[in-house]
A and B are shown apart, each in its own frame.
Chain A
């Protein structure tokens, strides 16, 4: 698995928001405004794809799309507008989006945002600068390039995991001995090292390591069997009941089918 990833070390972040600014400039997300539908001005919005969340005692946590290995948003999209690229980022194609907002409901981290103010609205979220890296315009995402502290770095997921585990080994007293995103909801491409709990990033404090899409698939994989099974069951019932009634009618010497079933009123 050669996925491109981001590792954010919360202990190094000074909260300067250079990443936010770089993201806004690179992706041309427009001006931030206090819209009614935002949680608060410094949280994510359609014009702010990454943000610094202040936590007690001068801890700054960069919030952004986690680019899950098995993304719920991509699995629920009925048209495939949201999809996971082989390189790692989960990207969005506005051209085929129909605006059902199921991705926003399904995301366990509550990341995708909507341009509610537009007459033709779209979903917005971090795409790890996929288009610009693909075209060679950028070597790495704007946010990681902009970080003056190297608190957030870009690289191969395997290598970043090694770096993360090495840092934990070197300073076991500082870090919580866990790489956030290594296993959460099946693993994410955006990893965190932290000395404070990052549970607040998800919708629930305790989220297990099982990926979400199989929960739906458990039922959806039965669809062909249900289709054939219900059809056969219904026709079988029809045949049995009809036969029994025909025999009953013949025994009584009545005509079959009865006149009112022939269609005339």
Chain B
């Protein structure tokens, strides 16, 4: 029953991962993960790859114990340890296929040699070691095959056990440490507590300790699941070795901090220092103490706790090095999306299900395991009703596929929009306009406040309480405002009864009509470009192609050289609406002010300098209809029209 429950849960996670897989490959990494340009490696690298490789270290440690050191009593756990390692590496490769952007190029390191890249070395070692593990595990499958050819292969593989084991140890030594080498090139990204010139050695030693802890954990879990006899004597011995290895690790880690003068980081109270102390406690110090005590090693609970702490602690260590310790440098907070968790857990679930499959069908332990009820029984029909009562293997399969399909449906329903439709750019919410009184709250805004409520036309004085009701239009809440004179608009539109003009006649989803619905001329092109003048002037130096670069293209605004490309000095100071100072409050010039202050001022000045250009420089008629061009050469203030046609 407990086996069925565990398997059911695993199938559920596998189903969830299956859904995410589809969208990962069709919609891309951006749609499914929470990765960013500043955090390009996330959960899949930290947990699946770095954690997975380290967790699978038990394979080479136990193989060395038995075949090199001839400790025959551990022979019983060689096969489960090798199987765990084999499935662990399969999970690592599976996780990589999700994480790397172009997985069908994963074979490239085989042909493009880059011997100075740590990742190149890891790729080769993992690839070779995965093959070695397959060969090491092959006898378990082949011994049950009757075909003569397969029997010959079996004998060859069996004969080459020793070279395979030695090769496996070499490759493991190389890539377990090289995973640490990966981070040597990031001294500025990884926090000083985790960055160390001996990172490869730390990774290697912790992999041995973690491998031993993982074998203990895995033995205890399968004992519990299959109700087998616990090989306590063996686990006791493993625990004793683990105590030495983990102790050495803790010693090296602290010694490294001391040698490199980094001990002060340990107690500076930052969250990194707390995380580091927590990680070191649960990964090495506590398990060392527990494994070192014979009394705790004898108790099932003690052994399970110590091994569990070490496993959790070292997975945390890998996640710290690859992710959490980089936050202080990049300043970007990354938390995996649930789709990333789904893939990570799903891959582990699939590996566990494969583990159960091998354990139940091959001689991984002394004999194939599995509850009696799960083996095939002839279905017994109830003599009266004809209903079949017993569970058959098929019934189990039915249960699991039902769970799988439910998980797929559930996963699909839970997928966020952006994962289904593909990644979309962020939407900036447009916030409501605020009352100008908001500015008053902060003293540094006092000047802005008085500017905003002071109306020079009427000459009112805010200090006497003569204020105008101004609204601050600041949709993205970045404290860059446009002022909106609500009172003035109300007065101009006809007093209290005129609200409806803006507030009731607007479109369904708007709160108020937008400015341009009345100010139709807001988007009128106001250029004063004199085509004939330019044509005559440029005739000598190239003619049309000077501006219309490609004569074959239709001549329009998009295909033509913009003014500022030639008139480099035409730009007025401050004419760029560019946020020069972040986090600083500012009021943008209004539409009329922008036109008159930024363009007209300069044009007027030019008029005096070059009177002959006057008609070309300022043509107020472009905006102000009804003006005669002849009026424009004078520098007098423009007469105001009462109707307010602007």
Q: Residues of A with Cβ closer than 8 Å to B?
A: 15-16, 33-39, 44-45, 54, 56, 58, 72, 75-80, 96-102, 104-106, 108, 110, 113-114, 116-122, 148, 202-204, 207, 212-213, 215-220, 223, 226-227, 230-231, 234-235, 237-238, 241-242, 245, 258, 260-261, 263, 265
The 4 A-B pairs with the shortest beta carbon distances in the complex, nearest first, are A99-B101, A116-B30, A98-B105, A33-B425
| Given A37-B36, A78-B114, A216 contacting B582 (CB threshold 8 A) | no
Residues of chain B within 8 A (CB-CB) of A119 are: 25-28
Query: How far, in whole Å, are A201 and B563 apart by their CA atoms in the complex?
Result: 34
Contact partners of A116 in chain B: CB under 8 A? 28-30, 35-37, 423
A18 CB to closest chain B CB (Å) equals: 9
B377 nearest CB across to chain A (Å): 27
Q: Smallest CB-CB separation from B177: which chain A residue?
A: A219
- For the A-B complex with A78-B109, A212-B185, A216-B184 known, give 13 more contacts whose Cβ atoms are closer than 8 Å: A15-B578, A76-B119, A79-B112, A99-B102, A110-B330, A113-B37, A117-B423, A119-B26, A121-B29, A121-B101, A217-B116, A226-B173, A234-B165
Bin chain B's interface residue count.
35 or more
> In this assembly, does B579 line the interface, its C-beta being within 8 Å of a C-beta of chain A?
yes
B462 on interface, CB distance cutoff 8 Å: no
Tell me which residues from 140 to 198 in chain B have a Cβ below 8 Å from any Cβ of chain A: 143, 158, 162, 165-167, 169-170, 173-174, 177-178, 181-182, 184-189, 197
Determine the residue in chain A with the shortest Cβ distance to B71: A241
Q: Does B69 contact A (CB under 8 A)?
A: yes
Does chain A have a CB within 8 A of B422?
A: yes
Complex Cα gap A245–B522 (Å): 96
A258 to B66, CA, bound (A): 14
Q: Which of A79, A108, A220 contacts B118 (CB 8 A)?
A: A220
Q: List 15 A-B contacts (CB under 8 A).
A: A37-B30, A56-B581, A72-B185, A75-B116, A80-B112, A97-B105, A101-B41, A114-B37, A116-B35, A118-B28, A203-B330, A216-B117, A216-B184, A216-B185, A223-B174
B40 lies within 8 A of chain A by Cβ: yes
In the assembled complex, the Cα of A75 lies from the Cα of B119 at a distance in Å of: 10
Complex formed: what's the CA distance from A242 to B178 in Å?
Answer: 31
B31 close to A (CB within 8 Å): yes
On whether the beta carbons of A37 and B37 are closer than 8 Å, the reply is: yes
- Residues in A neighbouring B422, C-beta threshold 8 A: 117
When C-beta atoms are compared, the residue in chain A nearest to B96 turns out to be A100
Cα A216 to Cα B121 in complex, Å, equals 11
Q: Is B504 an interface residue (CB 8 A)?
A: no
Tell me if A114 and B40 are in contact (CB < 8 A): yes
Complex Cα distance A117/B421, Å?
11
Is the beta-carbon distance between B101 and A104 smaller than 8 angstroms?
Answer: no
Q: Chain B contacts of A203 at CB under 8 A?
A: 188-189, 329-330
In whole angstroms, what is the CA distance A122 to B36 when docked? Answer: 14
**Other-chain residue from A35, A79, A204, A245 in contact with B188 (beta carbon distance below 8 A):** A204
- In the bound complex, residues from chain A placing their C-beta under 8 Å from that of B68 are 234, 237-238, 241
How far does the alpha carbon of A235 sit from the alpha carbon of B35 in the complex, in Å? 45
Check if B162 sits within 8 Å of A238, measured CB to CB.
Answer: yes
Establish whether residues B36 and A230, one from each chain, have CB atoms under 8 Å apart when the complex forms: no
B41 and A242: CB pair below 8 A?
A: no
Q: Is B610 an interface residue (CB 8 A)?
A: no
Residues in B neighbouring A78, C-beta threshold 8 A: 108-109, 112, 114, 117, 119-120, 123
Whole-angstrom distance from the CB of A178 to the nearest CB of chain B? 19
B166 pairs with A235, CB closer than 8 A: yes
> In the assembled complex, how far is the CB of residue B271 from the closest CB belonging to chain A, in whole angstroms?
18
Collect the chain A residues with CB atoms within 8 Å of residue B178's CB: 219-220
A215 nearest in chain B by CB position: B184
How many angstroms between the C-alpha atoms of A96 and B100 in the bound complex? 13
B170 touches A234 (CB 8 A): yes
Q: Is the CB of A80 within 8 A of B101?
A: no
Specify which chain B residues have a CB less than 8 angstroms from the CB of A226 in the assembled complex.
170, 173-174
Provide the residues of chain B in CB contact with A45, threshold 8 Å.
37
Chain B residue at minimum C-beta to C-beta distance from A258: B72
User: B143, B158, B187, B423: which contacts A215 (Cβ < 8 A)?
Assistant: B187
Interface residues of B in 576-613 (CB under 8 A from A): 576, 578-582
The one of A101, A213, A231, A238 that contacts B185, using a Cβ cutoff of 8 Å: A213
Q: Is the CB of B40 within 8 A of A241?
A: no
In the complex the two chains form, is B423's CB within 8 Å of A54's CB? no
When chains A and B are docked, how far (Å) is the Cα of A187 from the Cα of B239?
50
Considering the complex, give the chain A residue whose CB is closest to the CB of B367: A265
Which residues of A sit under 8 angstroms from B356, Cβ to Cβ?
Answer: none
The verdict on B332 contacting chain A, using a C-beta distance below 8 Å, is yes
Q: CA of A181 to CA of B525 in the docked complex: distance in angstroms?
A: 46
Asked if B414 is an interface residue, CB under 8 A from chain A, the answer is: no
B70, A34: Cβ atoms closer than 8 Å: no
* B312 interfacial by beta-carbon distance below 8 Å: no
Are the CB atoms of B102 and A97 closer together than 8 Å?
A: yes
Task: Tell me, in angstroms, the Cα distance from A261 to B66 when the chains sit together.
Answer: 11
Is B467 among interface residues, defined by CB-CB distance under 8 A?
Answer: no
Q: Which residues of chain B (304-327) have a CB below 8 Å from chain A?
A: none
Q: Please give, as numbers and ranges, the residues of chain B lying within 8 Å of A101 by CB-CB distance.
A: 40-41, 100-101
Q: Mark B84-101, 1 if CB is under 8 A from A, else 0.
A: 000000000000000111
B329 near A120 with CB under 8 A, answer no
Return chain B residues, CB-CB under 8 Å to A96. 105, 108, 112
> B40, B121, B571 — which one has the most chain A CB atoms within 10 A of its CB?
B40
CA distance A144 to B466 in the complex (A): 54
| Chain B residues whose C-beta falls within 8 Å of the C-beta of A213 in the assembled complex | 116, 185
Contact A230–B169 (Cβ < 8 Å)? yes
The closest CB in chain B to the CB of A46 belongs to B37
Task: Tell me which of B101, B185, B187 contacts A76 (CB under 8 A).
Answer: B185
- Cβ of B70 and Cβ of A77 under 8 Å apart? no
Quick check: is B115 within 8 A (CB to CB) of the other chain?
Answer: yes
Closest residue to A206 on the B side, CB-wise? Answer: B188
For B174, the chain A residues whose CB sits under 8 A away are 223, 226-227, 230
Residues of B within 8 A of A75 (CB): 116-117, 185
Q: Does B15 contact A (CB under 8 A)?
A: no
| Contact in complex: B37, A100 (CB < 8 Å) | no
Quick one: closest B residue to A75, CB to CB? B116
Contact partner of B581 (CB less than 8 A), chosen from A16, A54, A258, is A54
Contact B579 A54 (CB under 8 A): yes
Q: How far is the CA of A261 from the CA of B158 in the complex (A)?
A: 11
Q: Does B561 contact A (CB under 8 A)?
A: no
In the bound complex, what is the Cα–Cα distance between A99 and B35 (angstroms)? 13
Q: Do A234 and B118 form a contact, CB below 8 Å, given A37-B37, A39-B37, A212-B187?
A: no
